[in-house]
Structure 1
Amino acid sequence: MIDLVSIKVVQSKEDITIQKTILNSHPAYNQVVMAKEFLTEEDIIKDNEENLKLGAEYYYITKDNEPVGLIHYLLNHKSDHLPWIGLLIVHKQHGRGGVASKALHLLEKKLIDQNKQKVRLCVQDGNEIGAVFWRQEGFVIINSATDGHNNRVDIYEKKLYPDRYQCS
């Protein structure tokens, strides 16, 4: 079973180790975003500090109660007051099994429950795997910009529909 579990102490030694394992299972992604294949604990702590200052909420994506991925998002981005997904990543060992899609749907339901009607995110130029995933999930490009790491990014948006997530 896939679930989202809130990370209470994002910067604990144990949580940084888990995040490092998940993030470093994707060296090509790290290279695109951070200009290095493998992140150090210090890299992760610094990035987390920046996101937490903005109000990011962190969740593990768990599969059978084991953390296999990571999501963080802002519920209200300061520029447009919309939710923005900062990261959705699944450990490479658990990729291709629908884990990311299921986790995204759980996050979308959480946002709908908070009366959000759309969600945005950025995809770095060169992250073709990410771009394909987000398009398959119904996100569309609405603009281009430069991110905090000075990378060119496409800004994606998806409208959220409450009826999609109602259970019978």
Structure 2
Amino acid sequence: MLTLVEISENLLQAEMEILNSDPYFNRVSFDSEVMSPEDLARDKENGARLGAERFLVREGEGFVGILEFIMLNPSDNCPWLGLLQVDKRLQGQGYGSRILGLYMEEMRRRNVAVFRIGVLEGNDSALGFWRQQGFEDVITARTVVNDREKTVFVMEKKINEQGQY
């Protein structure tokens, strides 16, 4: 069973291990294969300004991923799933879909009918995953990610009353 654990300072090492398990994602997102503690602090500060909620995803005694979302993006007034990252060593085992389901259940409890994500250009595996999950393209835009301008594919997903997708 997957559960969300609010990230605290004593879980920083577990968070860094998951973030740095996927050099490809880091290269696309941060232009570096390794995310430093300073990069993480900056990323969290940016999220905090938007009211982001950030969690480690636990299964049993171990952590399998990270989930971060905001309930209201000031640019479009929509909830956004900002980060769903599965430990690279566990990818391909269904964790991404299961974490997405957990997130969607939480959004249904909060009476959210639709939410958005942004997929950075060059992250082709993520783009394929999200399309496979039924996300629809909304717009392609330029945005600033970690002080760098990047192209992002904005996608959205509707949640039905049962929280299914």
Gaps of 5+ in 2: none
Any idea what the Cα deviations from partners look like across 1:3-34, whole Å, max 9, x if unmatched?
Answer: 22233x3xx1x332222110111101111111
Residue 34, structure 1, aligned to residue 30, structure 2: yes
- Partners of 1:4 and 1:135 lie apart in 2 by 24
What secondary structure sits across from 1:126 in the alignment? coil
Residue 76, structure 1, aligned to residue 75, structure 2: no
**Quick check: 1:140–1:158 contact (8 Å CA) kept in 2?**
yes
CA RMSD of aligned residues (A): 1.2
**Quick check: 2:104–2:163 contact (8 Å CA) kept in 1?**
no
Who is 2:6 aligned against?
Answer: 6
- Partners of 2:106 and 2:163 lie apart in 1 by 13
Give percent identity, aligned residues only.
32
Residue 97, structure 1, aligned to residue 93, structure 2: yes
**Quick check: 1:143–1:155 contact (8 Å CA) kept in 2?**
yes
Any idea what the Cα deviations from partners look like across 1:67-120, whole Å, max 9, x if unmatched?
Answer: 111010001111222110111001111111111110110101110111111010
- Partners of 1:74 and 1:32 lie apart in 2 by 22
**1:13-162 equivalences in 2 (<5 Å):** 14-149=10-145, 150-162=149-161
- Partners of 1:147 and 1:70 lie apart in 2 by 22
Instruction: Looking at secondary structure, tell me which structure has more strand per residue.
Output: 2
- Partners of 2:63 and 2:109 lie apart in 1 by 24
**Quick check: 1:119–1:158 contact (8 Å CA) kept in 2?**
yes
- Partners of 2:25 and 2:144 lie apart in 1 by 16
Amino acid at match of 1:30: N
What secondary structure sits across from 1:148 in the alignment? strand
What secondary structure sits across from 1:104 in the alignment? helix
Gaps of 5+ in 1: none
**Quick check: 1:17–1:41 contact (8 Å CA) kept in 2?**
no
- Give me the TM-score of the superposition, normalised by structure 2: 0.92
